[in-house]
Amino acid sequence: MANSKYEYVKSFEQPDLLLPNTWIVIRIDGRGFHKFSDKYAFKKPNDRRALDLMNAAAERVLIELPDVVVAYGISDEYSFVLHRSCTLFERRSSKLVTTIVSMFSAYYVHLWPSFFPYSPLTFPLPGFDGRAVQYPTVQNLRDYMSWRQVDCHINNLYNTTFWTLIQQGGMDAKAAEAELAGTLAADKNEILFSRFGMNYNNEPDIYKKGSIVFRDYELVEATTSSPALNEEALTAPEIALSKTQAEKERKARQKAKVVVQHVDFIKDDFWEQRPWILSNRPGKIKREP
């Protein structure tokens, strides 16, 4: 029974290669997480266990996929950045996106009991969707990252004030929403401080700044000509590596420790001190203290 009669159907598969030499951001979002967070009684405005679970799943993605140079998560979303030189799966979009979504979903479900030991998962299970976006320059990529971190700040300040008005101020959701309509950041800070004695700046960084995941090496002192700001250094063809060299560096990256931090990366400092993130070339292994 030969299969040749039907094999023509393979010709309907259409290529979906991403453009070479662009930064690839794979962004995933929880499906129906509003309902899901109610079902498992997530704490408001932030549930530390839920964020830690997201971060644990993201860490696994970086550990298993050395092509991911950095990831950033807030709430039920995570953005994974593949280096512009990445050739994994020939840069096939659906293969890249589904691999990361599958991995993240599997770890989220598998690790759930470690973070929610008293709330076993029931059907329907949580899930994530994802998409790939390409950014041609370091500037575009950093602006994407900054966009997400500013969003984290805006949302968290709003949510913190909203839930404080409800939980400590005794308002219902409608009243709290009305109270906040049209307020600026300073107004919200003031509400928290004057009415509830709460200094927003003292809130945990994981809520205010989100979570950035990367391979950690020894910090580098920032200089004016640091590569984090230098498109050319990052795109010059001379740094194209031989296959052997690339494979060697890939393995070096696999040895680096993957860490989760909650810091500002809108300013240049973060990138200048960690040039290995955007260059994708291994840094100096940290000496243990």
- Sign, Cα dihedral of 152, 157, 158, 161: positive
- Binds a second copy by CB under 8 A, chosen from 58, 69, 71, 101: 101
Interface with a second copy by CB under 8 A: which range of 41-49, 104-112, 204-212, 278-286?
A: 104-112
Annotated binding residues for Mg(2+): 29-30, 76
Assess 135 for contact with a second copy (CB under 8 A). Answer: yes
Q: Provide, rounded to whole angstroms, the least separation between the CB of residue 183 and a second copy.
A: 13
Query: 12: helix, coil or strand?
Result: helix
Q: Which two tokens stand for residue 194?
A: 């004057």
Q: Provide, rounded to whole angstroms, the least separation between the CB of residue 170 and a second copy.
A: 29
Residues between 180 and 239 that touch a second copy (CB under 8 A): 185, 229-232, 235-237
Residues between 27 and 66 that touch a second copy (CB under 8 A): 28, 31, 60, 64
For a second copy, the closer CB: 29 or 179: 29
Q: Please name the residues in contact with 68: beta carbons below 8 A apart, sequence gap of 6 or more.
A: 61, 62, 80, 81, 82, 100
Q: Provide, rounded to whole angstroms, the least separation between the CB of residue 261 and a second copy.
A: 20
The contact pattern for a second copy, residues 241-280, with x = CB under 8 A and - = no contact, is ----------------------------------------
Burial class, 264, CB count within 10 angstroms (exposed 0-12 / middle 13-18 / buried 19+):
middle
Q: Please name the residues in contact with 150: beta carbons below 8 A apart, sequence gap of 6 or more.
A: 266
Assess 14 for contact with a second copy (CB under 8 A). Answer: yes
Assess 173 for contact with a second copy (CB under 8 A). Answer: no
- Contacts of 194-198 with CB under 8 Å at 24 or more apart are 195/169, 196/164, 196/168, 196/169, 198/164
For a second copy, the closer CB: 75 or 217: 75
Angle between helices 93-115 and 48-64 (to 10 degrees): 140
Interface with a second copy by CB under 8 A: which range of 41-49, 124-132, 217-225, 280-288?
A: 124-132
Q: Provide, rounded to whole angstroms, the least separation between the CB of residue 162 and a second copy.
A: 17
Tokens 């200094």 correspond to 199
- Binds a second copy by CB under 8 A, chosen from 38, 129, 247, 268: 129
- Binds a second copy by CB under 8 A, chosen from 98, 159, 167, 226: 98
Interface with a second copy by CB under 8 A: which range of 102-110, 162-170, 244-252, 280-288?
A: 102-110
Q: How many residues bind a second copy (CB under 8 A)?
A: 75
Tokens 């400590």 correspond to 168
Q: Which two tokens stand for residue 99?
A: 């691999």
Q: Let me know the angle formed at the C-alpha of 156 by 74 and 26, rounded to the nearest 5 degrees.
A: 20
Q: Give the residue from 55, 60, 31 showing the smallest Cα distance to 130.
A: 31
Assess 70 for contact with a second copy (CB under 8 A). Answer: no
